[in-house]
Structure 1
C-alpha cells in the first residue's frame, strides 16, 4: 500500500530533492505540493523531470482540503511551520518537519497536542544520518571533555541562526554534563557577539556564506588535547535517506518525536 505524501515547500532545493526521492520509491506517492510562487504549475515540469500530473497549491490549508494524504513533508519557513502542524492535527495527517526555528515552548505544546490526538509527527533538525551520529558522539564526549564550542556553517539563504542541528547538539551536550562556565572570568567582548551565542556555559558560532550547504564541528578542549567531531553535507542528496526513514517511521508513531536520533533504533 502506498504512502500518500504532500510536500510543502516543494519548489525549494530540499523540496525538489524530496520530489525526486518519492518518484524513485515504489510505495511512495506524491499527491500534493505547496508553493505560492508556482501555484497551478505541474510539479515535475517545474523541477525538470517531466509531468507528474500533480500541480502546486498555494497553501497547506487548500491542499489538505482537496487531497487525501498520509504524510506532509514540510520544508517551508519557521514563520508558518507551527500553523502547518496544527492544520495537520485537524486533518489527521502526519507531519515530517525539516524546517527549524520552533521554540522549546512551541515544541512542548505540539508534543502535548499530538499525544492527545494519538497522531504521529516528527521534527527533524537534520535528516543526514551522519549528522545525527555526530550529535550522539558529541553527547558521549561531553561526559569526559565538558569544555566545548560549536561552529556551524550554512548557505547564506538559511533563515535561522543558530541552526536547528546546532541547537539539538547543544541540548544533548547539556543533558550529558553539568554546566561549565568557559573562558576567562573577566572576559569582555570588544565587539558584541564576537564570542557567539551562549548556551549552558558554552558558545555556538554561526557562519553563513554562499557555496556552503550544511556543516558543523563540535570542538572539545582538555589539558593538552583537542577533540573535533565534524560532519559535512556536500549536497542535498545526503538528506534523502533520512527523509525516507522518517516517512516510514512516522506512520507507526502516535505522538510527536523531536530528532532523527530518536527513531534510528525504533
Structure 2
C-alpha cells in the first residue's frame, strides 16, 4: 500500500518526541508539509534537528493546553488538511489527593486542546471536501487506571468528542477517529524504566517486557509497542485509503483491553 500525503498540510500537536515525533517522520516521508509543536522554542528546534530541517517542516512553540496559544497557532497557520491531536500529559496520583486544579490542568491539556483545534480547522476541511482529524487517546480510556483516574477520564472524553464530531461532519469528506495506544516505549517510559535498566543490566526492551508482564498482564503481544507501530495506525487513518473509517476508536494496545469489540 502506497500512502501518499503529497500536497497535504499536517499539524501534529505535542510532537517533539515520542509518538508525535514518529508520526511527523512518517508524514514527511509521505510527502506532506508538516508543522510540529512543543511547549518551548528549544524543544521545537531540537525536534526539527532530529527530523532534518527542510522546506516541508516547520514548528510552532506554545502550550496548546491554553486558549491563548491555540489562537496564536490558528493566526499563524489558518489551514490544515490533517490534524493530529496528540498533545497530552499523564502521571499517577491518588483520587483522594488530586485537587481541582490538577483535574482542570489535565482537562485543558488533554481535552480542550483538541476541542479548540478541531473547531478551528474542521470548517476549512469541510469547505474543501476532504480532511482528517485524529485524537490520540489511550487504552486507559477503556481500562481506567485506578492510580490515574483523572487521566483516564480525559482519554474517555476524547472518544466521546471524536465520535460526536464524526457524526457532526457526516457526509462532508472529513473523517474523525481516535487511536488508542497501549503501553508504548516512548522516551518518557524509557526514562521511567532507566533505573531498572541500570540495576539489571538488561536492555530497555527486556525491562519494558518484564514491566508489561507484571503490570499489564492482559497484553497479548507481551511487550511494549514501539512508537513507529503506533504511528503506523495514525498515518493509515489519516490517509486517503482510510476514507471509509470514521467515528472509530482504533486500538494499538497489544491486546491489553479485554474485549472482542
TM-score bracket relative to the smaller structure = 0.5 to 0.7
* Structure 2 partner of 1:120: 175
Whether 2:111 is the aligned partner of 1:82: answer: yes
Matches of 1:15 and 1:114 in 2, distance apart? 22
When residues 12 and 114 of structure 1 are mapped into structure 2, their CA distance, relative to the original with a 3 A threshold, is same
Higher strand share: 1
Matches of 2:43 and 2:188 in 1, distance apart? 25
Contact 1:120 1:252 survives alignment (8 Å): yes
Whether 2:200 is the aligned partner of 1:157: answer: no
Contact 1:89 1:117 survives alignment (8 Å): no
Contact 2:13 2:37 survives alignment (8 Å): yes
Shift of 1:114: 3.6
| Alignment: residue pair count | 179
Contact 1:71 1:247 survives alignment (8 Å): yes
Whether 2:243 is the aligned partner of 1:259: answer: no
* Structure 2 partner of 1:173: none
Specify the structure having the higher radius of gyration (Cα). Answer: 1
Shift of 1:10: 1.7
Match of 2:84 among 64, 73, 82: 73
Shift of 1:25: 1.2
TM-score, L = length of structure 1: 0.53
* Structure 2 partner of 1:15: 20
Instruction: Give the SS at the match of 2:58.
Output: coil
Match of 1:244 among 235, 238, 243: 235
Instruction: Give the SS at the match of 2:188.
Output: coil
* CA offsets 1:160-187 (integer angstroms, 9 cap, x no match): xxxxxxxxxxxxxxxxxxxxxxxxxxxx
Instruction: Give the SS at the match of 2:16.
Output: coil
* Structure 1 partner of 2:193: 209
Matches of 2:169 and 2:188 in 1, distance apart? 35
Whether 2:58 is the aligned partner of 1:29: answer: no
Contact 1:7 1:15 survives alignment (8 Å): yes
RMSD: 3.8
Shift of 1:8: 0.6
Contact 1:43 1:55 survives alignment (8 Å): no
